[in-house]
Structure 1
Amino acid sequence: MTPLPSTAHVSTRPGRHDDLAVHHWPNPQATWIAVLVHGYGEHLGRYEEVARRLGDDGALVVGPDHVGHGRSGGERVSIADFEPVVDDLHDVVADARADHPGLPVVLIGHSMGGMIAARYAQRYGDGLSALILSGPVLGSWAALALADLPEIPEIPIDVATLSRDPAVGEAYSNDPLVWHGTFRRETLLALRSELELITEAGDLGDLPTLWMHGSEDELVPIDATRAGIEAIRGTDLTERIYPGARHEIFNETNRADVLATTTAFALEHV
């Protein structure tokens, strides 16, 4: 197989509110399309290892930096409504389909990106072969209580909660494209509204769905997510809980197992 590029090619396309940076990991031998959906405050450049592993298993990999994130335009981490973010993602998927007609699509979302991916699946699930959720924000999220405070305190993420691998936290802290500031009130309110919308919008039908979560995830605790999963689960849900793992299971010390589970599930359904 032709070796995949070590880093993504990044292009720009118009988004609903500003220009989007779209990451592409080309694969001339691709048999399926993997669409990555990143989490709050981060960017898709942190997913190089994930993309390479997906490419090794036959995927062409693509995904946007959300508006206000990474290399995309917009005020940093300011999102007043997540439905246009889902629309932006749909445009990226449509571009990939147009460039590679006939290839099946698997959507892979992490954390806030898992919320976005779940909503995408509710709206456009008929066009997906599978949905994979990693530590998704679903159901409720304790951090949203900050929106009710007169002044939102600056509470930096404890990087030790990301992974048992200390190099992950160090890289996160030193990444200039990661947002290290306080939450935006409008974003917290939009997250709350989107979670309520997802819970009320109905189940995922027969879409094959894999939910993966670290048992020691302190950023997005598993119990709240489980309630959200139960509200939207369809008839084909696979659950995988990793004992001892923290929030970023794709960057955990057992990431080889997580990535193997991810690609095996995708290949089973494409």
Structure 2
Amino acid sequence: MTVVKKEYRILSSDGKSKLYIVRWEPKGTVFAVLHISHGMLEHIGRYEEFAIYLAKRGIAVIGHDHLGHGKSSLKENYGFFGEDHGGNYLIRDIRRIRYVISRWYPDTPCFLMGHSMGSFLLRRYISVYPNQEKGIILTGTGEKPYALLLAGLTIVSFTGKIKGKMYRSVLFEDLMLGRFGKSFRPVKTASDWLSCDEEKVSEYVKDSMCRFHFTCSAYEDFLNILIDLKKRIVRKKCPSDLSVLLASGCDDPVGDKGKGVQRVYRQMKKYGGKDISMILYPNCRHEILNEKNRIQVYNDLAQWILKRI
């Protein structure tokens, strides 16, 4: 099936930035729509292989670059969401694009997918905008202790007040991400924890839109979202009739090598989730869409969507 790629711009909820949006659409019947929210320090272009695979099977895919990332931001603003509560803009932007999708495909089931940072954004999103989606897919997600998150927030908030919101610290990145690679020594790059596929890791390392550091402000915004997800009132707002798929690698350090993903699964079941599924892929790391067995992963996610339309 032929796939058509189109690019768009819409105004962000921050009132000034222009979000970069891509649509991969099959030339034929569209059975479902998937809106992807990418992870930290990357961009939506990295999902093209997966998007084309789905589109060839009748699933249109829409994705966008978050604020502070890719083509939605100037290089000097990479790693920065907004002056105050920038994380809220990311959540509202997902809603803005979801509204555009509803106009493109008014009678077609819509699913959301979030990877890593994007998965945490979606978990917060469904508590703010419940009963909007057919289902969500969360890849590379997890659950961190409240005390650890609070300690991190205290450090970045204090540093931001001293150094300024735009201050970028390599130390913060090492604390947040550097530790993920320590369980895979010896390693060839600091990004080896992303995938077992050396070619895919090399592509990431060489990608100029992935080589930047988060600001104090962005770390503060993101940690606030993670802390919000620890609140019972937020967890209870997840719609019980929402279909959810948790898919991660068994060796993904973000999900504590499966344990963190299992905790999220149990929480969603505890708060009434009726259709909560989980797949943990053996010998896979953080980016299951870029692993050696990625075609199997693509197929599993496609089948999960098609069975729910």
TM-score normalised by L of structure 2: 0.79
In structure 2, do the counterparts of structure 1 residues 57 and 202 end up closer, same or farther at CA, with 3 Å as the change threshold? same
Instruction: Report the residue type matching 1:122 in the other structure.
Output: S
Structure whose residues are more often helix by fraction: 2
Aligned to 2:290: 251
Structure 1 residues 220, 181: closer, same or farther in 2, change over 3 A?
farther
Q: Is the 8 A contact 2:50 2:298 kept in 1?
A: yes
Cα displacement (A) at 1:69: 0.4
Q: Give the Å deviation of 1:138.
A: 4.2
| Structure 1 contact 34–107 (Cα < 8 Å) conserved | yes
In structure 1, the residue matched to 2:218 is 187
Q: Which residue of 2 aligns with 1:25?
A: 24
Q: For residue 230 of structure 1, what is the aligned residue in structure 2? A: 266
Q: Which residue of 2 aligns with 1:211?
A: 246
Give, as a single letter, the amino acid of the residue that structure 2 aligns with 1:68: G
Q: Which whole-Å CA distance do the structure 2 matches of 1:140 and 1:114 have between them?
A: 17
Q: Which 10-residue stretch deviates more, 64-73 or 156-165?
A: 156-165
* 1:11 corresponds to 2:8: yes
Tell me, in whole angstroms, the C-alpha distance in 2 between the residues paired with 1:226 and 1:140: 14
Q: Secondary structure at the match of 2:298?
A: helix
1:6-65 Cα offsets, whole Å, 9 max, x none, are xx4221110022110011112242121110110001000000111011112211111210
Q: Alignment partner of 1:177: what SS?
A: helix
Match of 1:122 in 2: 127
Secondary structure at the counterpart of residue 277 of structure 2: strand
Residue of structure 2 in register with 1:43 after alignment:
43
Structure 1, 128-137 or 165-174: larger mean CA deviation: 128-137
| Aligned with residue 235 of structure 2, among 202, 215, 223 | 202
* Partners of 2:149 and 2:227 within 8 A in 1: no
Deviation at 1:122, TM superposition (A): 2.3
Gaps of 5+ in 1: none
In 2, distance between residues paired with 1:144 and 1:196? 7
Evaluate the alpha carbon distance shift between residue 125 and residue 24 of structure 1 in structure 2; reply closer, same or farther with a 3 A threshold. Answer: same
User: Using the alignment, how far apart are the partners of 1:62 and 1:170 within structure 2?
Assistant: 26
Q: Is the 8 A contact 2:196 2:292 kept in 1?
A: yes
| Separation of aligned partners in 2, 1:19 and 1:58 | 29
Q: Corresponding residue for 2:79?
A: 77
Contact 1:31 1:58 in 2 (8 A): yes
Q: Which residue among 217, 240, 246 is the counterpart of 2:279? A: 240
Distance in 1 (CA, whole Å) between partners of 2:80 and 2:119 is 18
Q: In 2, distance between residues paired with 1:191 and 1:121?
A: 16
Contact 1:67–1:85 at 8 Å: present in 2 too? yes
Paired residues of 2:265 and 2:276 also in contact (CA < 8 A): no
Deviations 1:124-143 (A, max 9, x none): 34121111111125445979
From the superposition, tell whether residues 88 and 239 of structure 1 become closer, same or farther in structure 2 (CA, over 3 Å): same
What SS class does the counterpart of residue 296 from structure 2 fall into? helix
Instruction: Give distance in 1, aligned partners of 2:199 and 2:26.
Output: 29
Moved more, 137-146 or 183-192: 137-146
Q: For residues 157-191 of structure 1, give each alpha carbon's deviation from its aligned partner in whole angstroms, at most 9, with x where no partner exists.
A: 6221111110111100111111x233322222212
Structure 2 unaligned regions, length at least 5: 160-168, 179-189
- What does residue 109 of structure 1 align with? 114
Query: Larger radius of gyration, structure 1 or 2?
Result: 2
- CA deviations on 1:139-164 (whole Å, 9 max, x unpaired) are 45979865526565264862211111
Contact between 2:137 and 2:244, CA under 8 Å: does it hold in 1? yes
The answer (yes or no) to whether the contact 2:140–2:254 under 8 Å persists in 1 is: no
> Aligned pairs, how many?
266
* Candidates 183, 193, 203, aligned match of 1:171: 203
Q: How far apart are 1:93 and its partner, in Å?
A: 1.2
Percent of aligned positions with the same letter in both sequences? Answer: 25
Given that 1:27 and 1:58 are in contact with CA atoms closer than 8 Å, whether structure 2 keeps it comes out as yes
Q: CA deviation at 1:89?
A: 0.9
